[in-house]
Amino acid sequence: MRCALLFMLSTLLPLFASAQIGPMANKGTARAVIVGISDYQDDRIPDLRFAHRDAEAMADFLLSNAGGNVAPENIKLLLNEKATRGDIAMAFYWLVEESKAGDRAVIYFSGHGDLENKIMMDQGYLLAYDAKAVNYMGSGTYPVEMLQKVIQTLSLKLNVEVLLITDACRAGKLAGSETGGVAATNEGLAQKAANEVRILSCESNQSSVENEQWGGGRGLFSYYLIDGLKGLADEDEDQVVIIREIRNYLRDEVAKWADQDPMTEGPSNKELFRVDEDTLLALMERKKMKKENMAFATSRGTLPSAGDTIIHPLYQQFEQALASGHLLHPEEGSAYALFQQMQQQEALQPLLSAQRLNLAAALQNGAQQAINAYLDASPEEMARRWQYDESYQYYPEYLSKAAELLGPGNIFYDDLKGRQAYFEGLVLR
């Protein structure tokens, strides 16, 4: 699932020296511009799944006690078709016009970012809802250079504290995909000016992942970021989350699930948010009671768009087999057999990581549902067992193949092998 869909937060500015001001969590008036785009107008730009939900979650956090009780009128939440280039530009303009010295500004962007041509000083674009898959300069994109100017004005001219958070990824064929556009843009966005904190979802050569298993449908980075800011990152339990703590928390939690290393830029002891005890206790209780269902992460925007040159008959057959549930038997035309063939096709190499996880997920889904039914003491499930439903013969092999696809180093490997043994025992009864 190697879609290098990352976020571009460049700062064309040099690093300026300036005195650090007080806690970001407890100063002046807070305002926010929050953008989340999952559904793009141009069908050639592959849609995301949960970028808009991540943006909504960030807005909800800022409105809450844990997020500082930001006034609703001080949050501009732009989602999907409401996040055109014009909408984004006007929201940033509002942010600059309303902010005063000592205030706080949060800028959050979840969507696509890319670089059309890798030329000197070209720092890339944030793709708004009305962006085109080609010709970024002339379409609905917001230049990262302009974002840097907004941040420069806020942090340096107006003495406003800025928290910039981006969770961006590139999917399918974007204009800059042949020139490393997303990675180059992300590297630029990682630079910061004084009086500013930046948190990026991953490094420039990595993928940002999303899946239903996090919050019912969230990005991995966003899910743990907000949990951490609510207090799970508060290592020393002093009721304040600082940059070092959120950096450590994201590093540890995100790494459990994906090859994704969030980046933070800012003074290590800088305060971000104060912990609301009631919010933290409620969060801890939910996590204690809820056992997260095992699922497999998929990269944001992994599937190729209609305009992608990498669409291949073998890939289409694999997708059809996966959708129809033809996973292992009969072998001919099965998703597993087709995946083995896909590994020999150079054009399909960028998709293999993603489809390996999708196939592993499909192989374990039936067994997982059977286990869930057993845990719920379903009479129907117990009857199926005693009548020896033939599907139980397949579960051990399904789970074995899923474990094989993931490999012994994967965190789910031992669990899959354990469930394989469980069903093997059931079949032998």
Q: DSSP labels for 285-343?
A: HHHHH--PPP---EETT-SPPTT-TT--HHHHHHHHHHHHT--SSSSTT-HHHHHHHHT
pLDDT of 113 strictly over 50: yes
Q: Which CATH class is domain 30-289?
A: alpha beta
Residue 171: pLDDT above 80? no
Q: With beta carbons less than 8 A apart as the criterion, state whether 163 and 272 touch.
A: yes
Among 59-63, 175-179, 229-233, 240-244, the range scoring the smallest mean pLDDT is 175-179
For the ranges 151-160, 197-206, 221-230, 328-337, which has the lowest average pLDDT?
Answer: 197-206
**pLDDT > 70: percent of the chain:** 70
Nearest to 296 by CA among 405, 223, 202: 405
Averaged pLDDT, 287-311: 47
What are the boundaries of each domain within the chain? 30-289, 310-428
